[in-house]
Structure 1
Amino acid sequence: MGYINPFTSEIKYLQILTITTTIFVVAAGTRVLGQDCGCSPDLCCSQYGYCGTSDDYCGRGCQEGPCLSPPSSNGVSVEDIVTDTFFNGITDQATGSCPGKGFYTRETFLDALGSYPEFGTIGSTDDSKREIAAFFAHVAHETGHMCYIEEINGTMRDYCDKTTSSQYPCVSGKGYYGRGPMQLSWNFNYGPAGSSIGFDGLSNPEIVATNSTISFSTALWFWMNYCHDAFTSGQGFGATIRAINGALECNGGNSDNVSARVEYYTQYCNQLQVDPGNNLTC
């Protein structure tokens, strides 16, 4: 139970209330024109269907309008960094009876990675290693070294947020509790994650616990939308803790959990022979 925080997605609830202002985008370059999304031609249509001109609208996920092009890749191969030795070094710490044994594999992680080319490829080679270490640090903490697929006692909790049910309506009999490497939770995360990845997150949330590639895709989706830009902009590992579970862990909320996440991160940085950088806590 210590590995799966049943309140992990509380911060995600807070984020959805200000979704158009909390996703930070690091983007530069030429603008691409095109519009038939309901916004005027000089406005961007964000990934959530809102019109505006800031990076929140014109950056990551921008659908139409003067969208910003993504930052240039550094050419790093994530596959070469996330080796069998690195990946199995995490999963091997889970006991043989763990439900995640055989479910979470390096192959399905790499399959999911194909849809997220910016992950681990922004900045210097050391920046890439740090982002990879940060991602897997949270995965290890959330799932007990990829032991758990579903949140313990998740079926006993109500993850249907009524304030977002008009946009992401909860389906009767479906549970939106934590599943997958990042323990995706709440209807307002299952809905857009499914739309982005290509599954019905509201009617079929269970697929996150039965299809390993989709499961890893939801973790990468959440990371790229809520953690990637903060981390690659130099805010440090602490910013990713705040994005994932800051409402409960940061500012003294649960210093033990923060320390555990930082320990995983520094351990994986050491394995990848990279300095973990500054601002590790929150």
Structure 2
Amino acid sequence: PDTACRKELSVSFAHFTQETGENSGWGPVPRWKQGLYFTSELGCKDLLAACSYCSPSTEYPCVSGKGYFGRGALQLSWNFNYGPFSEAIYGDKSKLLDDPDSLLTAENGVLAFASAIWFLMTPQMPKPAIHDIIVGKWQPTAADKAGGRYPGFGVTTLIINGGLECYSPTDPRAVNRIDFYKNFSNHFH
């Protein structure tokens, strides 16, 4: 269990750092220690039209004038994530769909971190929970294997950001995540 906990912390904080880190190379603090700096996606508060992140849905309908851009430790985004998280926390899918900003302000900011834990722990078909990958519970199907998806850190990045980072081994975001993971692994071991 102790090894699994260290691995889970390393994976989680690597992703938190990529999603919310200051990522500055100018100061004395190493980049892997700069996580949890920003609470919401940069540039989206003023560019709501570009950052509404609304996918047409009858189950989790978007509210006019609201933006479902990244907020919290893992930058929860899109209405199809805000709705289910709201349902899990409040028993009401509409609460965070109606007021996505409350992810940062409600409960003294606890929801900002709780949303990350929820995302790490919750499978969203066809994607497994990141937690299940880390602890070895997820086993890839034949289709997963054919698509190059095997248990490990890489597939956790695929779950978070899909094809944005995973199809180029030199994508700086993916390279950062791997570097952060290695540093946190060394730190926690």
TM bin (shorter chain)? 0.7 to 0.9
Q: Which segment drifts farther, 222-231 or 258-267?
A: 222-231
1:212-223 → structure 2 map (5 Å cutoff) = 212-223=109-120
Distance 1:239 1:160 in 2: 24
Where does residue 136 of structure 2 map in the other structure? 233
CA distance, structure 2, for counterparts of residue 170 and residue 142 of structure 1: 23
Percent identity over the alignment?
A: 38
- How many residue pairs align between the two structures? 148
Contact 1:192 1:201 in 2 (8 A): no
Alignment of 1:107-146 (within 5 A): 124-144=1-21, 145-146=35-36
RMSD (CA atoms):
1.6
Q: Does 1:186 align with 2:83?
A: no
1:157 and 2:51 matched: yes
Distance 2:5 2:134 in 1: 10
Instruction: Say whether 1:272 aligns with 2:188.
Output: yes
- Give the superposition deviation at 1:263: 0.9
Checking the alignment, whether the CA contact within 8 Å between 2:4 and 2:134 is kept in structure 1 is no
Structure with higher RCO (Cα < 8 A, 6+ apart): 2
The amino acid of 1:230's aligned partner reads I
TM-score by length of 2: 0.73
Which protein has the bigger helix share? 2
The CA deviation at 1:254 is 5.6
Task: State the Cα deviation string for residues 233-261 of structure 1 (Å, max 9, x = none).
Answer: 17121121111113111121762111100
Q: 2: CA distance between counterparts of 1:151 and 1:218?
A: 15
Which whole-Å CA distance do the structure 1 matches of 2:99 and 2:178 have between them? Answer: 34
For 2:118 and 2:63, how far apart are their aligned partners in 1?
A: 22
Alignment partners' CA distance in 2, 1:231 and 1:252: 23
Instruction: Measure how far apart 1:153 and its partner are.
Output: 1.9
User: Do the aligned partners of 2:10 and 2:184 also contact (CA within 8 Å) in 1?
Assistant: yes
Matching residue within 154, 168, 184 for 2:60: 168
Query: What amino acid does structure 1 have at the position aligned with 2:113?
Result: F
Distance in 1 between residues matched to 2:68 and 2:169, nearest whole Å: 24
TM-score (norm 1): 0.50
